[in-house]
Amino acid sequence: MRARVFVTLKPGVLDPQGKAIGHALNSLGFKSVGDVRQGKVIDLELAETDREKASASLRDMCEKLLANTVIEKYDIELRS
């Protein structure tokens, strides 16, 4: 099974990189761009066929390593 994990900053946590990207887009003429937040995408392959087990294991991975839950949240997408 394949999975995709999205790691993003929690709402309210300042994201200077996102801000800089927003400013750059504005200066390129994309005037409709408002708030920009930057995050990470991590693709994984799992030797697991049970979706429940895969989700539980991925949540554990996020809590232990993939995300720093002081400032980041994560979303998991399973793609079988």
Partner 1 sequence: MKCAVIVFPASNCDRDAHDAIMHVTGTPPQMVWHGDSEVPDVDLIVLPGGFSYGDYLRCGAMAAHSRIMTDIRRKAGEGVAVLGICNGFQILTEAGLLPGTLMRNAGLKFVCRPVELVVDESQSLFTRNYSRGERVTFPVAHGEGNYFASDDVLDRLEAEGRVAFRYAEGENPNGSARNIAGILNEKRNVLGLMPHPERACDPLLGSVSGRAMFQSLLEKLS
Least spacing, CB of residue 65 vs partner 1, in Å: 7
Written as one string, the DSSP assignment of 17-41 is HHHHHHHHHHHTT-TT------EEE
Give the DSSP H/E element, type plus range, for residue 79.
strand 72-79
Stretch that binds partner 1, among 26-34, 46-54, 61-69 (CB under 8 A): 61-69
Reference 4, options 78, 80, 74; nearest CA is: 78
Q: Which of residues 3-22 bind partner 1 (CB under 8 A)?
A: 13-14, 16-17, 20
Q: Does 58 bind partner 1 (CB under 8 A)?
A: no
Comparing CB distances to partner 1, the nearer of 13 and 56 is 13
- How far is Cα 77 from Cα 32, in angstroms, rounded to an integer? 29
Residues that bind partner 1 in the complex, under the rule CB under 8 A: 13-14, 16-17, 20, 65-66, 68, 70-71
